[in-house]
Amino acid sequence: MLSEKTIKIIQSTVPVLEIHGTEITKRFYHLLFSSHPELLNIFNHANQSQGRQRTALANAIIAAAKHIDKLESILPVVKQIAHKHRSLGVQAEHYPIVGQNLLTAIKDVLGDGATEEILQAWGEAYGVIAGVFIEVEAEMYGQAQQQQGGWADYRAFRVEQKVKESGVITSFYLVPQDGGELASFEPGQYVSVKVEIPGEINTHIRQYSLSDAPGKPYYRISVKREDEGAGRPAGKVSVFLHDQVKAGDVLWLSAPAGEFTLDQQDSRPVVLISGGVGLTPLVSMLNTLAAAKTERQVTFIHAALNSDVHALRRQVEELSERSQNIHTYFCYEKPTAQDREQKAYDKEGYIDLPWLKQVVPTQDASFYFCGPVPFMRTVHGLLKAWGVPAADVHYEFFGPAGSLEGDADSSKEGNSKEGNSKEGNSKEDVSLQR
């Protein structure tokens, strides 16, 4: 445990960290990769180059400093991060390396402001926080390996089928190459996919949601191809999967992980709201509810640019047709002429509160949403304005964690856009950043 003196010193550094946090984490990553280039096999290079990773890490450090006197209050966040660390293969021996480079970065950026007393306090605090992560992750590694059909590290999977779902999204049906049993998972969880791309020095790891229900003889991931765009490089892994991986090829997967999961014990209505490729974990939840022949009222809302980029639509419609408890709605930002002719959508433009109240029977429900950050900010703002309790609101970022606070109206750009600011639908870390 930390002494009261150490806690006060750490908390006193919060204002400085709020000013210099991203500068410190930028320096940290430079030091880390210069001294340990092998860690580039774990970290997401695209998010490094775009600066999103250092911002997320800075926010995580500030949060830890603010709550250093009650670390138990951030345990849910620790578990979320630990799931991602376990899926990536982060090991206990990585933590001292990170700690050493973080303290050096603090000293380099703050100069004389980083006194020996402050550095010592942060060294002690980091040791305690790292210890919590190591303990939680060790338990997760054990569970992943010891569960029925489970495994440690990465396991070879054969691409049994490759299916184009829309103009930008393709599904990969994956089965164990060894013919062994397949571990179950919670709807909403993801796997890490590790690939070696010809011409690339390092391996690349991305995390993709499992887009079908558990209990199938395969895992399915549905990947959005990320081509080069304004201020955004092409997604190396998503382009590789789309262009070069074919049926019969082998991909290496971690065991399923993740905290964004459907509460199947809740008997109240459930509302699933997705934007673009953010539908993947929610389709898994929907398939699971349908397979269980749920008596819960289920509302599934998907926002997309138009039918050209709307993936898995027919599968979702079929579930709705087979169950009187499942109701589906589609919102298209810019419908095509054919969409208009066929009346292929329920709302044009963006999801707004009056329409949401029309299609969702009650606010006494569990709400799950996922998609591009602007879309998520909009949905979060609408639910907040409607008075939905925070405990009933569940979401997950595709990319380094950010903030959903903000004006829903001002977040309309991206409300239904297919794209988002990460590669494909890969998830990122917020601690030992990829």
pLDDT at 261: 96
* Residue 278 is assigned to a ligand binding site: yes
pLDDT digits 0-9 by tens, 164-178: 999 999 999 999 999
Percentage of residues in the chain having pLDDT higher than 70: 89
**Angle (nearest 5°) at CA 287 between 284 and 290:** 150
Domains and CATH numbers, the chain: 4-146 (1.10.490.10), 155-253 (2.40.30.10), 270-411 (3.40.50.80)
pLDDT at 81: 86
Q: Name residue, tokens 């998609």.
A: 371
pLDDT at 46: 59
pLDDT digits 0-9 by tens, 369-387: 999 989 999 999 999 999 9
Q: What average pLDDT does range 134-162 have in this prediction?
A: 96
Q: What average pLDDT does range 238-255 have in this prediction?
A: 97
User: Quick one: tokens of 329?
Assistant: 């709605």
- Beta strand 347-348 with 326-332 is parallel
pLDDT at 434: 26
Q: What average pLDDT does range 104-108 have in this prediction?
A: 97
Over 60: is that where the pLDDT of 22 sits? yes
pLDDT at 34: 94
Enzyme catalytic residues:
95, 137
pLDDT band at 398; cut points 50, 70, 90: low
* Residue 208 is assigned to a ligand binding site: yes
pLDDT at 20: 95
pLDDT digits 0-9 by tens, 329-343: 999 999 999 999 999
Q: Is the separation of the CB atoms in 2 and 68 below 8 Å?
A: yes
Q: What average pLDDT does range 123-134 have in this prediction?
A: 93
What span, in angstroms and rounded, lies between the C-alpha atoms of 98 and 35?
11
Q: Whole-prediction pTM value?
A: 0.88
Q: Residue 192 pairs with which residues in a beta bridge?
A: 207
* Residue 281 is assigned to a ligand binding site: yes
User: What's the order of all strands across the beta sheet hosting 204-209?
Assistant: 204-209, 190-195, 250-253, 155-164, 169-176, 219-224
What span, in angstroms and rounded, lies between the C-alpha atoms of 229 and 207?
21
- Length of the chain, in residues: 434
pLDDT digits 0-9 by tens, 93-103: 999 999 999 99
* Residue 399 is assigned to a ligand binding site: yes
Average pLDDT, the chain: 89
pLDDT band at 420; cut points 50, 70, 90: very low
Task: Write the secondary structure of the chain as one string of H (helix), E (strand) and C (coil).
Answer: CCCHHHHHHHHHCHHHHHHHHHHHHHHHHHHHHHHCHHHHHCCCHHHHHHCHHHHHHHHHHHHHHHCCCCHHHHHHHHHHHHHHHHHHCCCCCHHHHHHHHHHHHHHHHHHHHCCHHHHHHHHHHHHHHHHHHHHHHHHHHHHHHHCCCCCCCCEEEEEEEEEECCCCEEEEEEEECCCCCCCCCCCCCEEEEEECCCCCCCCEEEEEEECCCCCCCCEEEEEECCCCECCECCCHHHHHHHHCCCCCCEEEECCCECCCCCCCCCCCCEEEEEEHHHHHHHHHHHHHHHHCCCCCCEEEEEEECCHHHCCCHHHHHHHHHHCCCEEEEEEECCCCHHHHHHCCCCEECCCCHHHHHHHCCCCCCEEEEECCHHHHHHHHHHHHHHCCCHHHEEEECCCCCCCCCCCCHHHCCCCCCCCCCCCCCCCCCCCCCC
pLDDT at 210: 98
Over 80: is that where the pLDDT of 229 sits? no
pLDDT at 154: 96
pLDDT digits 0-9 by tens, 282-303: 999 999 999 999 999 999 999 9
pLDDT at 49: 57
User: Quick one: tokens of 285?
Assistant: 């939840």
Query: Greater confidence, 229 or 290?
Result: 290
What span, in angstroms and rounded, lies between the C-alpha atoms of 202 and 357?
49
